Homo-oligomer: A and B are copies of this chain.
């Protein structure tokens, strides 16, 4: 989204946003009593379930019980029977280890019963896992890797303000330890830049981390200065005072264009004097006797049932249209086009689908993601150079049903936010990643800019799809396919322009491959993807001149992979294969092929795996491909050595 769009959106005035879903008047003493009873019940339940499990984080739950009691009873707007309701608020536990508290809240609103809470928490097969995941319908994103819940919430906030244009709010319970993660500051920075008044972080400043005091302990002013400097509105409160909490939670509505950070000074273990503010109690269930005593002192097990305020009715301003007619760009075979350019053109064509959103990390002019900005400026979000927030925003947008594409240089897109991609897999989120400028092929910029481990990293992500097209036509088709692919899909794109190979009607199903130059007398198969496919085709031409029939496989789909065709190929070429990849040797294309071939029966193989085996420097793309030993002449030489039976030693061809 461009800077001008950092304004109040057209269809919802800031005044409307401020008054929407307003909380009720100040608390009466009766209401305060309810809060106190609720907080006690949450504490009791958090203790009971973790002690029963024999593990978990009760003390981290106790510190935040009052905060969550007030939020649940008086500020959260949520229809628990209809978690998919578009105008429901969002509640995210960025400190996911406080799951005993979260699940106790679910019990208090009646969606989890006492038996499930107490007897299944952390048990095998239970949906009440050690840290929350979206196997629970009220959990938006998996947390537990600290410093991710707030960044994810920024994506939800972007959706609420700019796309859905609905007044739902996102409330995020954060730990104080996780404020040491840089990602939290990327999140606040972007939340402020995009004026996300719909986002409230509630920081449970309980002073103690897992291994001793936190860095800033109870220095509330230092926290407030940081928050303010990053553009959010800070409020310091006593996190155990219901009236103060209520007042703070109400105040957030007075800042419609600014995220609020409530810095709540709390006591870890609050409510159980033996462990209050004591080091050494992080992540430990209370022993049974201590738990029984504590539960009794807190008033015993409760049965309070809370009715949460319902959200106002409302429908998102954007209605997805996955059936919209898309005119994908086309090119003439032979035309030289960079696959990154094809991505830009294809994703811009997809702008006809209103649910498609594009984000970039301040390199949209290189990735070509920036072309979407022209096609659909309201659905382009600039994340600047903050790749962790780039992924987190995509995850948050996916929570709201959008179809986000996030782009940057592959080296930065995959490796900088790798933990966010990992957690997106745990969240079962559907996000699309496009990493451009992969491999030594980028040339002069040198190794810091070269993704050479991204295929290994992305293949190992749960729910991932990994594609690496060699030309513009396949890229465009695969970009369109990604839009309809669940899970984490990753497209690796090349910097330089290479000839278009395929016609516009060719299809590129996931799990498929394209076989070139196949014949009955093929002596060897050359397997490549992306830039090395072109090198394989050139090598096959050279080999043909020397009388060697070489089949070429365009392995554009690395995960899922076309194991059947690969096996058949091995049978038909006497097991002679050369694989060339612009990637380090471990875990890349060669590995993907070997994994696919492995099984109860794999025939004898004669394989040469060509990959980037030493640290590249600068140079022209062709010089670097050649120096890495993955250019056509190396491929042809490897093939000849296999065919001649003049087999080189080991894999070090």
Residues of chain A having any CB pair with chain B under 8 Å = 3, 53, 55-56, 96, 122-127, 129-131, 133, 135, 142-147, 177-178, 180-186, 189, 193, 209-215, 222, 225-226, 228-231, 360, 362-366, 370, 382, 384-389, 411-412, 414-416, 418-419, 422-423, 425-426, 428, 444-449, 452-453, 456-457, 459-463, 559, 563, 583-588, 590-592, 594-595, 598-609, 615, 617-620, 623-624, 627, 641-642, 647-651
Contacts and interface: CB of A to CB of B under 8 A. Distances in A.
Nearest to A619: B124
Nearest to A585: B595
A182 B586 contact: no
A215 B588 contact: no
A129 B588 CA distance: 26
A56 B446 CA distance: 11
Nearest to A584: B460
Given A226-B230, A426-B448, A181 B178 contact: no
Given A177-B385, A600-B642, A601-B605, 11 more contacts: A125-B619, A129-B618, A130-B444, A130-B618, A145-B412, A422-B453, A453-B460, A459-B587, A595-B609, A602-B607, A604-B604
Q: State the number of copies, please.
A: 2
A446 B370 CA distance: 38
Given A416-B145, A627-B124, A598 B603 contact: no
Contacts of A619: 123-125
A586 B385 contact: no
B418 A412 contact: no
A177 B595 contact: no
B445 A214 contact: no
6 contacts: A180-B386, A193-B215, A229-B229, A411-B419, A426-B448, A599-B650
Which residue, A124, A414, A592, A648, has most C-beta atoms of chain B within 10 A? A124
Contacts of A129: 446-447, 617-618
A585 B595 CA distance: 9
A363 B649 CA distance: 46
A182 B185 contact: yes
Given A125-B617, A182-B181, A586-B559, A604 B603 contact: yes
Contacts of A211: 360, 362-366, 370, 382
